[in-house]
């Protein structure tokens, strides 16, 4: 009799827990949602996060805010979300920096980009980077930059604010046979400011982060890293056109939830994000910043993320030999 009572008690407990979970998912959201960005204000990821937050807030009828938690190539903010309650109220606006490249860059990570998160939506994909120099640098092309760097070994520095930018810079060093020294910053805004101010001679950033200073003449853009020219900088050559074949570094940004977030919550967020990303307002804003959005299901996004982790872990460790403790 006691055993039967215990079994019945456990069954009722599980049933109540399941009912409570289902009820919570059905009423979701009923309080403010926080989108965590692992970089400081003003960078490309922050711009995307704020745009998504505004649109999601209108769709979900609750406040959606951005919280910046910069540091360690966005790993600090990423780890914070990984350890947050899996209830759909703390989400990550995460890019390929922490969600793909960090696996190869870092000896130890406090989180697992695959096991500790569930993908909701890819926000932008195929985001090209731009290589830009201070106007005082005597280079108007990638070929001239390479010649200048070879003539001044160890005397040229480039600024970057995230792992993809550093990987792009080191990939450039390897393919071009030069040694331009990396200077890390906590976000693209700081990297751009350092080069505009002359503290570094070059920066590698997303087009969205550097576009304003390029148009103002405070930075001289030399090339973009995409497979085709970017429509916001149509006169700028690709790296391939500039003479560096097969130059590619993954650049994407997505929305993630902590692992174990209830499936109905993830499904609702994915559905709303699909509507947001197809809206004319968001598409026009992406277009003005040089971003592209590729429609993906959460499963397709998860597969693309896993593929990037496997490929770039090998490239970073075996070819570029970059490791961060």
Q: Is 283 helix (H, G, I), strand (E, B) or coil?
A: helix
- 24: confidence class by pLDDT, cuts 50, 70, 90: low
Residue range 21-30: mean pLDDT, rounded: 72
Beta 64-68 vs 90-95: how paired, if at all?
Answer: unpaired
For 107-119, the DSSP string reads: S--SS-TTTSEEE
Q: pLDDT (tens digit, 9 = 90+) per residue, 155-201? A: 999 999 887 888 899 999 999 999 999 999 988 889 999 999 999 99
Q: What is the pLDDT of residue 21?
A: 45
Q: How many CB atoms lie within 10 A of CB 71?
A: 14
Q: pLDDT (tens digit, 9 = 90+) per residue, 199-223? A: 999 999 988 889 999 999 999 999 9
Over 60: is that where the pLDDT of 324 sits? yes
* Domains of the chain (ranges, CATH numbers): 32-126+250-320 (3.40.190.150), 129-224 (3.40.190.10)
pTM assigned to the model: 0.79
- Please say whether the beta carbons of 97 and 250 come within 8 A: no
Q: How many CB atoms lie within 10 A of CB 68?
A: 18
Three-state helix/strand/coil letters over 160-218 = ECCHHHHHHHHHHHHHHCCCCEEEECCCHHHHHHHHHCCCCCEEEEEHHHHHHHHHCCC
Helix axes 280-289, 207-215, angle to 10 degrees: 60
Q: What is the pLDDT of residue 212?
A: 93
Q: What is the pLDDT of residue 8?
A: 46
- 261: confidence class by pLDDT, cuts 50, 70, 90: very high
Q: What is the pLDDT of residue 14?
A: 47
Q: How many CB atoms lie within 10 A of CB 318?
A: 9
Q: What is the pLDDT of residue 215?
A: 95
């Amino acid at each position: 009799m006691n055993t039967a009572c215990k079994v019945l008690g456990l069954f009722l407990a599980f049933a109540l827990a399941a009912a409570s979970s289902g009820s919570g998912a059905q009423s979701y959201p009923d309080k403010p949602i926080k989108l965590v960005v692992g970089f400081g204000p003003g960078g490309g990821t922050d711009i995307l996060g704020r745009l998504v937050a505004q649109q999601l807030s209108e769709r979900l009828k609750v406040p959606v805010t951005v919280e910046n938690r910069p540091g360690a190539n966005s790993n600090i903010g990423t780890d914070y979300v990984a350890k947050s309650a899996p209830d759909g109220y703390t989400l990550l606006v995460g890019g390929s920096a922490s969600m793909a490249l960090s696996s190869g860059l870092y000896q130890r990570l406090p989180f697992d980009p695959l096991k500790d998160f569930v993908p909701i939506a890819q926000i932008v994909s195929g985001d090209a980077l731009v290589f830009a120099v201070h106007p005082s640098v005597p280079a108007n092309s990638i070929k001239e930059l390479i010649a200048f760097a070879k003539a001044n070994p160890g005397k040229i520095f480039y600024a970057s604010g995230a792992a993809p930018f550093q990987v792009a810079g080191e990939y450039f060093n390897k393919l071009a046979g030069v040694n331009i020294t990396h200077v890390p910053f906590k976000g693209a805004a700081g990297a751009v400011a350092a080069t505009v101010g002359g503290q570094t001679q070059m920066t590698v950033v997303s087009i969205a982060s550097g576009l304003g200073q390029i148009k103002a003449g405070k930075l001289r853009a030399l090339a973009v890293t995409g497979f085709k020219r970017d429509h916001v900088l149509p006169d700028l050559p690709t790296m391939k056109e500039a003479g560096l074949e097969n130059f590619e570094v993954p650049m994407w940004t997505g929305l993630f939830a902590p692992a174990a977030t209830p499936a109905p919550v993830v499904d609702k967020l994915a559905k709303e994000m699909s509507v947001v990303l197809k809206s004319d307002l968001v598409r026009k804003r992406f277009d003005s910043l040089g971003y592209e959005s590729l429609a993906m299901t959460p499963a397709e996004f998860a597969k693309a993320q896993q593929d990037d982790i496997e490929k770039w872990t090998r490239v970073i460790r075996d070819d570029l030999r970059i490791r961060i403790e």
